[in-house]
């Protein structure tokens, strides 16, 4: 039987508490916003509590300090300042997790930081050091990231991720969010892509297929109808004899 983790980016304040709770009822890992790109302290506390109540593994979702751009713009920040910011963001969610009776298990960079960690050795080196110093944590990176070795050499387990609700372009990377069709919202399209990624190990990228090997599948909490999409994906994976379980426990 195949196995995959199903994760969601949450705590960004883009969905009502009830909708977020419904989303958390379908996933196995929750990448919780750390407040640097979105969210409020009160809202993030509630998200962690809902994740723990749902039995979901808690991860931190740090970003460049960029609330105006929702963390989707590359920030020019002094390395020491960036490292301090990321360490504080991760520690914030770690404290909330401990207060709710669980432990932080992984880190997933957000937005521009996520892409930079996957392609820029300088950023990857900085992030690897921050994650290593934060404890026994894994890091989520896009499948095919060229910096995986950088994290592993630093003693940080790198877990590969693919996306059920984002379109892939001809180069095998995600279609930029500003482009038409970048976010998949139709249930059939999201389910089909999830099954293709997990069962067949490939994704349609423009007019060709690209091989993808991912241990975790992401659904964004700010995608319209995210909870319904997550439940549909989980149901489809079960029907395909795929075990849905966290990559970290």
pLDDT of residue 74: 87
In CATH, what number is assigned to the domain containing residue 231? 3.20.20.370
Residue 237 to residue 244: CA distance in whole angstroms: 8
In a domain, 105, yes or no: yes
Please state, in angstroms and rounded to a whole number, the distance separating the CA atoms of residues 221 and 11: 8
Write the burial class of residue 160 (CB in 10 Å: 0-12 exposed, 13-18 middle, 19+ buried).
middle
93 occurs within a structural domain: yes
C-alpha to C-alpha distance for 140 and 114, rounded to whole angstroms: 9
- Note the pLDDT tens digit of each residue in 112-135: 999 999 999 999 999 999 999 999
User: pTM to 2 decimals?
Assistant: 0.96
Q: Domains in the chain: how many in total? A: 1
Tokens 């995608």, located at residue: 223
User: CA-CA distance, 63 to 88, in Å (whole number)?
Assistant: 11
Are the C-beta atoms of residues 42 and 65 closer than 8 Å to each other?
Answer: no
In a domain, 91, yes or no: yes
What is the predicted pLDDT for the residue at 1?
Answer: 56
Examine residue 249 and state whether it is found in any structural domain, yes or no. no
119 HSE (CA, 13 A, CB side): 8
- Residue range(s) defining the domain that contains residue 204: 2-244
- Helices 121-134 + 111-119 axis angle, to 10: 110
Residues of the chain with pLDDT under 50: none
For residue 116, the number of C-alpha atoms closer than 13 Å in the C-beta half-sphere is 20
End-to-end CA distance of the chain: 19
Q: Are 60 and 97 in contact (CB under 8 A)?
A: no
């Amino acid at each position: 039987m195949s196995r995959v983790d199903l994760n969601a980016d949450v705590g960004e304040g883009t969905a009502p508490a009830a909708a977020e709770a419904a989303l958390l009822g379908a996933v196995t890992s929750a990448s919780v916003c750390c407040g640097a790109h979105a969210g409020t302290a009160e809202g993030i506390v509630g998200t962690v509590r809902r994740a723990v109540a749902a039995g979901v593994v808690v991860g931190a979702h740090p970003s460049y300090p960029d609330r105006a751009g929702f963390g989707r713009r590359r920030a020019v920040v002094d390395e020491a300042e960036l490292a301090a910011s990321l360490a504080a963001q991760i520690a914030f969610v770690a404290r909330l997790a401990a207060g709710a009776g669980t432990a932080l298990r992984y880190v997933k960079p957000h937005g521009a930081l996520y892409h930079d960690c996957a392609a820029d050795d300088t950023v990857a080196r900085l992030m690897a050091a921050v994650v290593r110093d934060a404890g026994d944590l894994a890091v989520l990176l896009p499948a095919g990231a060229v910096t995986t070795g950088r994290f592993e050499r630093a003693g940080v387990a790198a877990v590969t991720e693919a996306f059920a609700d984002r379109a892939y372009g001809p180069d095998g990377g995600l279609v930029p969010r500003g482009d038409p069709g970048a976010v998949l919202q139709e249930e059939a399209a999201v389910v089909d892509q999830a099954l293709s990624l997990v069962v067949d190990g490939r994704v349609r990228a423009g007019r060709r297929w690209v091989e993808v090997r991912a241990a975790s599948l992401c659904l964004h909490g700010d995608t319209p109808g995210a909870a319904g999409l997550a439940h549909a994906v989980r149901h489809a994976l079960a029907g395909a004899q795929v075990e849905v379980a966290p990559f970290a426990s």
